[in-house]
Structure 1
């Protein structure tokens, strides 16, 4: 497990979770407005049903392939990444990795921080954070953040804001109670991509948006939590968390564009309006026991998830506009938007994990988890209601050996599970399917060098996933479970303080991912690489400090990917350069000049259907970070 700290995110000016996470080894982004923007690829597996996103260990049930929270990195102490099957800790939907944002905590020592920023495309941002004591036994933490940008094209404007608050009561050193209330509102870009011809993006159309003037993309998240931690005695700590989350999402857009070069027009279709009313209430109870050489964690989790889905299926509507000077017009569809389904999911999980310190050199780890999901789906239109129960086991075995004080080797095997579709969106067509199962074997080595001035880590892994959806070879029109995919690869990370002034950080990942057995409507995909999975990713940062000044230069490389499982549409590899020049005015204030995509490289970040989402061009920003 590794990740990025708050200091690293500020140093690199990574204000979004996507930007911060894709600096870590092996993670690449594949977000779109349709999946909430938090879709990643890791170790050969892509999407919100294989790479989970959590906050303080709490995962929101994924509905209709969408994960949208948290969108920005302000207010988080660090963002951890646990790679490979993480079902033991987080449940289903974590075959590739889990991203976990860890909040900044209240302190009885008063402090505050402010972030101010302004830059290209009318970008503005403001972050506020404060903590301190309240009376004899209480403390608080408040973080607020807002940002807006006009974007690079019409209707590309975005804005978001959030408020995070924690009130902590600690009447004794053994008892701590946190009350947490958060609200986030995101209005991301309404850009659904640039059309292509013959599987390639039309670069001359990169700055044009074909959506409607009154289009909408909006995510509202409200979270309330009560957390208790009680150190009962020297060997037992009890933790309990009761939470309620509500997420309201709305899309109203024209999402499909077909470019006709002969007539210089774009045909628009898929006039979609979709609304999610998602609520999740749950409780997480954990016991941590320290029994000599054994550190045991066990617990029970329960949650109830309710989703009311409304849409205007079958998404009719069509229009044709000029490719170079489109009249955006208004969104209008012949299909009425109405509630279509109500789904309730009850989840229970039990887990047990033990870390056994055999001696000064050997550490053994073992864990087991059982998840059970009970579904009840009410079809408001079709009337085809159904119930379904799914269950799966996860386990992990690991061993770590200290070769020397500065060198450790490890090995582990684990098993996890993914849903064949978003768990909260199980429907009549896939009600008979079980959870897909995955197995991982991993070995690695971690070493400190040069008297602690540097360190490096190398991990090698092999993952196999069974029971993905495929077509029956004898009856190709029928979908069944039985497909398989696999990945194997290596990840390398390193940091070195070359001189008191020069620090280098970098990582490199290679993955060989493929479908071992998969038949789709268009043919046999065995041997193909899954969509949105690059073979190689790399990051390199150099930081040079002289007195109160620091210059930072970063390179990010993402290898080529495919936009479909047929591997017929290629998203070319790209490398972008970012930089930051910072001046520490005094002990409290740091001013920074930030440049992103310095070479103004044209690249495709991801795809949406037959469209290509073009990455951000060159931009600059000035920020001030002030601590009190």
Structure 2
């Protein structure tokens, strides 16, 4: 694909990362190897088969900790909720290049909402948009004001399905995604990783660390990435620089304090081009289709540059056999310089002639968008935990207090041309046809003057949200029963700069699970969510109430004896209420009259069968929005499977994986525009010998051309074409 520029700074960074870390690693590796040998010599040789089996199971399924999505280290098998985990090994084997790629092998999770994208990692869980958390604290606020996380910095991704307001406060009834970043490990084996692939994808990364003193009470880790990449879209780059140092101090066996730092700079352009239905889903009037590489913007104008700096605190202390405490805190500052030109639209007039057809020769007007956005977050979550008995009841009681202060700012605006004015025959909009573009034969070079664009940029006021929450959650065990109950109170104040609003809400959750000795564990649960809505009822003049959600879920989990892994089958019913204006039409009274409902079933399984690891996931979701239509961009059916092979004997060191992903048709939210379903295939081949690892990943192996979704306003989003990436890693 055409490249917008050569970036000597990025190229130099790649070289420096390679040379610098290659020369620095041997000494670190020697120390780490000696420490690892010491630990092995101190480890008793009488590990039980049960311990080995549990380690195998956790390697396959993933592990929850007290800093994870459930704020508990209770095994997934004993949790009356549906939780999906993608481990670091899963991320590597499936060739995930972005966070959105990681979502595509989980039941009930749609990770390609807007097709190929470079601005964000949009995901829908059980039909609903969900927030992104990082290390159990919310990571994103608003849109386009932060860098997206890089997969190489991730230890695992946890998807908690269903409302989670008891643990996290305001949020979606669909659930949440929690990204667990890499932490210091005393046994870490340093590595340098080189990657090259489709669209001149070039990346070098390194990950190293270990003990800084003889006692091992001070451990560090540094993860760094440099990426220089083109994409499937002409003139769209996707470059990133990341350095993430971290440090753990354990002054005593009872206390651990970890600091996670991250500095990320991403440079590129927006991948989504907002191309029209005519020319993508259906032929254009001239019979042609728009190419997936089509760039609707202007080289030299379009950019999507993001910066994010953050410091995260993870601390825990054990007071005695009963009481312990955990503290999670974060400061984050993010910004985005975003400019893009795309085919102009307003609802009902998307690049159409007055008669409703696309311009016959394919030349269409464009909107020119300018945005300068920023965000700053201070968050703190403190939890007291008590483990005790009352008679035969074993309790894990958690009492928490959470505070969050987030400020966002966005100075933005757009200039546009919207077609022909019937009275004058001239283009209708801010300027004429000199800045239009042909969808099939684009010619670049005309950019509106900066002074003209700045006339349409408004100085948006700062918006501030403060969220204060108190919660209590008790996990009770008696015999084979596992019972959980939670209660939370939140007070949320929102100031948009033009309007202030205070909301409060109580949230409840309850779950019960019975673990039979044969590995079966049926469960049932109930959970609630709330989400503030800023605005007033145009009839009563009263502020809107928060949107509310509730979910009923039943299911059964199964952990086969002697086979690492587990199977979960679940059914759920979600209802959203207090939705403003079901049809959201201009001139309508602004009232909260809407309700939406989602019902579905899911099956998710991962099992290790000898040399093979088998994943099989499927879901069926029925949705109805406040207007009585199917949800926008939510497939009714999804299914995926991944077969991994790691042989022993003569083929030891070889590894392979093959995956298939099916997504059914989606609709536009009004049951008018149908986007066909598709099936994609992925392949991985790898070999490991000594300290060297080699791997090739191919996603969308057959190079399937497909649309991820089309919207009621008239635009569509291309799915990602085939990508092939080769990886060479050296461990010291």
With normalisation by structure 1, the TM-score equals 0.89
Aligned to 1:193: 274
| Number of equivalent positions | 600
Asked whether the equivalents of residues 116 and 718 of structure 2 are also in contact (C-alpha less than 8 Å), the reply is: no
Q: Which runs of 5+ in 2 are unaligned?
A: 1-82, 284-288, 345-350, 417-429
Q: Tell me the distance in 1 between the aligned counterparts of 2:92 and 2:570.
A: 27
Residues 262, 397 of structure 1: alpha-carbon distance in 2 compared, 3 angstrom cutoff: closer
Aligned to 1:589: 692
* 8 Å contact kept, 1:193–1:613: yes
How is 1:114-513 mapped onto 2 (pairs within 5 angstroms)? 114-135=192-213, 136=215, 137-191=217-271, 192-197=273-278, 200=281, 202=283, 203-213=289-299, 214-257=301-344, 258=351, 263-292=360-389, 293-312=394-413, 316=430, 319-332=435-448, 333-334=452-453, 335-359=455-479, 361-378=480-497, 385-420=498-533, 432-449=543-560, 451-453=562-564, 455-470=566-581, 477-498=588-609, 500-513=610-623
Q: Is the alpha carbon distance of 1:176 and 1:330 closer, same or farther for their aligned partners in structure 2, counting shifts above 3 Å?
A: farther
CA displacement at 1:338 relative to structure 2: 4.2
Q: CA deviation at 1:262?
A: 5.6
Check conservation: 1:236, 1:290, Cα contact below 8 A.
yes
| Aligned equivalents of 1:262, 1:465: Cα separation in 2 | 41
CA distance in 1, matches of 2:565, 2:499: 57
Question: Shift of residue 470 of structure 1?
Answer: 1.7
Query: Are 2:707 and 1:627 equivalent residues in the alignment?
Result: no
Shift of 1:161: 2.2
Distance 1:496 1:187 in 2: 40
Residue 483 of structure 1: CA displacement?
0.3
Contact (CA 8 Å) 1:75, 1:143: kept in 2 or not? yes
Q: Is the 8 A contact 1:390 1:435 kept in 2?
A: yes
Q: 1:474 to 1:585 in 2, by over 3 A?
A: closer
**CA offset at residue 377 of structure 1?**
3.0
The correspondence for 1:616, drawn from 690, 713, 720, is 720
Alignment of 1:526-537 (within 5 A): 526=628, 528-537=629-638
Asked if the contact 2:685/2:697 (under 8 Å) is kept, the reply is yes
What is the distance in 2 between the residues matched to 1:267 and 1:513?
Answer: 35
Query: What secondary structure, in the 3-state scheme, does the structure 1 residue paired with 2:166 have?
Result: helix
Is 182-191 or 310-319 further displaced after alignment?
310-319
SS state at 1:121 partner:
helix
Deviations, residues 278-329 of structure 1 (Å, cap 9, x unaligned): 1111222111111121001111111211122211256655632223221233
1:9 is aligned to 91
Give 1:583 deviation, angstroms. 1.1
Residues 119 and 304, structure 2, Cα contact 8 Å, conserved in 1: no
Secondary structure at the counterpart of residue 588 of structure 2: coil
Change beyond 3 A, Cα 1:255–1:581: same
**2:697·2:725 contact (CA, 8 Å) conserved in 1?**
yes
Deviations 1:226-278 (A, max 9, x none): 33211111111112233211110221111335377664233133211112121
What is the aligned partner in structure 1 of residue 159 from structure 2? 81
Q: Per-residue displacement from partner, 1:366-394 (whole Å, max 9, x unpaired)?
A: 0111221112232xxxxxx3321012222
Per-residue CA deviation, residues 175-214 of structure 1 (Å, 9 max, x unaligned), is 1222222112223542323332188255443221111112
* 1:363 CA displacement: 1.0
Relative to structure 1, the CA distance from residue 187 to residue 289 in structure 2 (aligned partners, 3 Å threshold; closer, same or farther) is same
Aligned residue in 2 for 1:561 = 666
Q: 1:475 to 1:593 in 2, by over 3 A?
A: closer
**1:36, 1:68 within 8 Å by CA — same for their partners in 2?**
no
User: Does 1:71 find its partner at 2:149?
Assistant: yes
With normalisation by structure 2, the TM-score equals 0.77
2:548, 2:577 within 8 Å by CA — same for their partners in 1?
yes
| Conserved? CA contact 2:415–2:456, under 8 Å | no
Secondary structure class of the residue paired with 1:8 = helix
Structure 2: distance between partners of 1:10 and 1:2: 17
Tell me how large the CA RMSD over aligned residues is.
2.6
Paired with 2:478 and 2:660, the residues of 1 have a C-alpha distance of: 42
2:42 matched to which residue of 1?
none
- Tell me whether 1:92 sits opposite 2:175 in the alignment: no
Residues 21 and 466 (structure 1), Cα distance of their counterparts in 2 relative to 1, 3 Å cut: same
Deviation at 1:398, TM superposition (A): 0.4
Q: Is the 8 A contact 1:364 1:399 kept in 2?
A: yes
Distance 1:68 1:307, change over 3 A: closer
Report how far residue 450 of structure 1 moved: 5.8
Matches of 1:32 and 1:207, distance apart in 2 = 13
Cα shift at 1:98: 0.8
1:43 aligns with 2:126: yes
Alpha-carbon displacement from aligned partner over 1:54-84 (angstroms, at most 9, x marks no partner)? 1100103522x45855432212221111001
Query: 2:687, 2:140 → 1: CA distance?
Result: 43
The aligned counterpart of 1:543 is 644
1:85–1:96 CA contact under 8 A, matched in 2: yes
Q: Which has the higher helix share?
A: 2
Q: Is the 8 A contact 2:484 2:510 kept in 1?
A: yes
Indicate the residue corresponding to 1:522 in structure 2: none
Quote how far apart the aligned CAs of 1:432 are.
2.4
Output the CA distance in 2 between the equivalents of 1:294 and 1:447: 24
1:461 deviates by 0.6
- Structure 1 pair 535/110, CA: closer, same or farther in 2 (3 Å)? closer
Asked whether the 8 Å contact 1:463–1:487 carries over to 2, the reply is yes
Between 324-333 and 540-549, the greater mean CA deviation after superposition: 324-333
| Cα distance change of structure 1 residues 249 and 31 upon mapping to structure 2, 3 Å threshold | farther
Cα shift at 1:34: 9.0
1:337 CA displacement: 2.7
Looking at CA atoms only, which structure, 1 or 2, has the larger radius of gyration?
2
Shift in Å at residue 485 of structure 1? 0.5
SS in 1 for 2:100: helix
**482 and 576 in structure 1: CA distance in 2 versus 1, 3 angstrom threshold:** same
